[in-house]
Amino acid sequence: MVGPRRVQPNPEGDEPLAGEPARGRDREKVGIWMPRGLRQRLRIHAAVLDREISELIADAVTEYLDRHDQQRAAEGLPPIPLR
């Protein structure tokens, strides 16, 4: 499992070093529990897609929440407040 990447300053320019995330990204470390089989599938898919597990999880959760918000709107329900 890969931990979070830290941005290191690039002395030769404004661009992040190769393999480093863009500056200013707001990331938090969050622990989640998931079944072992799901975790294994996630690790395999991340490796095949050459992406980090956290990227896949963020994409999947964003898609799920967007779909849920659209479903609520279609049912005439108010949006869920962010705070």
Q: If you count them, how many residues does the chain have? A: 83
Burial (0-12, 13-18, 19+ Cβ within 10 Å), 57: middle
Alpha helices (runs of H) in the chain, residue ranges in sequence order: 36-49, 53-74
pTM: 0.64
**In contact, 50 and 56? CB cutoff 8 Å:** no
Q: What are the tokens at 1?
A: 């499992």
The answer, yes or no, to whether residue 46 has pLDDT greater than 80, is yes
Q: For residue range 1-21, list pLDDT tens digits in order.
A: 555 554 445 555 555 555 555
Share of the chain above pLDDT 90, in %: 61
